[in-house]
Each structure stands twice: as C-alpha cells, then as structure tokens.
Amino acid sequence: MRLKGLKQRAEEPELMDDFTSGGRSLKEALRQLRWLNRIFGAAGPTLYGVKRLWLAAGKPSQMSILDIGSGSGDVNRILLRWADKHHIDLKIRLADITEEACGEARLLYQHESRIEVIQHDVFELQQGMADVITASQFVHHFSSKELPVIVGRMLSASRFGIVINDIHRHWIPWLAVWLVTRMLSRNRYIRHDGPLSVAKGFRLADWMSLKMSLKEGFPEIAFSFSWRPLFRYVAIGLKTSEEGSFEPLADNSDDRVDSEEKEAIGADQNGTDV
C-alpha cells in the first residue's frame, strides 16, 4: 500500500475478518498481538477512557465492563491493576466472535476470577449488559457506513457509556508497524493485518463524521475524542440524561498522560502479568 493511500480509510478486509479460517495460525497471531500491544502502548487509551467514565459516574466502588471484539483481552490487565489501586470491585467480560480468541483469553486469565470470557457477536449486544462497553482496536474492522450501527449497539448496551480505542491513520504508525511486524514475526495474520489495521484506522474528521451520524439517534450522549500516545484515538461516549446523574467532565487534562497512566503503561510494557 502506498502511503498516499492513507488519505482515506482502506476498505480491504483483514485476514482476521475471514471466520472460515483460523486455527493454529490465528492463535499464534493472537499471542503475538499481545507483545505488539505492549510495544505500542495499546492499553493506555482504554484506561484513560474508563477512568473518565468512572469519574463522571461519581467514582463508584463497583463497576462492570464488557470488552467487545476483545481478542485475548490483554489490554484489560491495565484495568485490573488500576482497579486494585483504587479498591474498585471490577468485573470484566471479554466477548469475541471467534473460538480461537475466546480460548486464548481463557488461558491468559485462567487464574483471574474477575474475568469472564464469552463468545458473542457485537450485533447481538443487549441493552444494559454492562456499565461500560469498551472496544480496543476493534471498530476499524467495519466500514464507515457500518460504524454508526456498531457504536449505536455499544451505546445501547452500556449504562455509563462507551470507550473506543483505535488507531490513528498516519504514515508514521503505518511505517512503524510495517517494520516491526516484519522484523519480529513470520505469521501471515500479523504481517498482513498489522499495517492494514493502520490504513483502516481513523483521523479526527472520521470521528467527527461518526459523531454527527449518531447525534439524532443518541442526543443524550456527550462525545469526546482525544489523541493519545502512541498514535491512537480514544473516543468516549458519556450518557448524560440517565436520572440527570452524569455530567460531562471539564476538558482540563485531555492532552496529558497522567502519572497513573504512565505507571500502568510502563508495567504493561515491562511484561507484568495478572
């Protein structure tokens, strides 16, 4: 793919979108994605968004999260450590449509009682399934026309709101991912889907277009979009009308990575496990 092709979102499907294949090669790819996520700090934006919703909800002592399209769910380790630090009774359900992803997630979290793994389709989300619905590096798998439907399902399934963590479509992360995947992996999923994921990612105009598409169906949702290291966007949809209890937070720290986020990301990159 030529770099000038990054001006628009790529429409080519990823290999992982073909549910008729998979098996051992896909399982290997899911394991390798865990260390790629560590290298590129993939978990930080999800933590940032979940913290924002937790604060807006009044710092509840109990909270539930459903991570849709979770893969092996490795980005959630950062949330478990954050919950421990703040004494939050956190329950996380990892939901993915493939048996391979669910199997890898169960292996990764086999000793973690706060994690439940379910095989589930985003189109089958039910109303009020969790306080917060998260999606990390998931929604870029869908076309721009499909996105309002997907995000609408997530909003309906949440009680507090949603957090979407996805890739900034830019030549720097595209080149970085292309180089790293070729240096560190021979897996066909990793080599093909890694750079393509960046090309299917987002720019600010894409998020603004999504916001306008959802405005009529979800007028009570306060949307915010923030660029986070390393070349990611976090989109937060906060429900503001439910009994008048939630209010959007003041945007006084959106562009800073706080000490807690740095600490958590550092632990993840150093390989700390649950």
Residue ranges of the domains in the chain? 42-168+203-269
What H or E segment, with its residue span, contains residue 94?
A: strand 89-96
pLDDT in tens, 182-222: 999 999 999 999 999 999 999 999 999 999 999 888 988 99
Q: What pLDDT score does 250 carry?
A: 47
DSSP 206-255: HHHHHHHHHHTT-TTEEEEEEEETTTEEEEEEEE--GGG---PPP-SSTT
Nearest to 239 by CA among 130, 123, 156: 156
Domain 42-168+203-269 of CATH type 3.40.50.150: yes
Range of weakest confidence among 146-160, 225-239, 258-272: 258-272
Write the CA distances from 120 to 2, 14, 95, 198, 203, integer angstroms.
35, 19, 5, 25, 28
- Burial degree of 44 (CB within 10 A; 0-12, 13-18, 19+): buried
Cα(218)–Cα(171) distance, integer angstroms: 33
pLDDT in tens, 216-251: 889 889 999 999 998 999 999 999 854 434 555 544
Q: Model pTM? A: 0.89
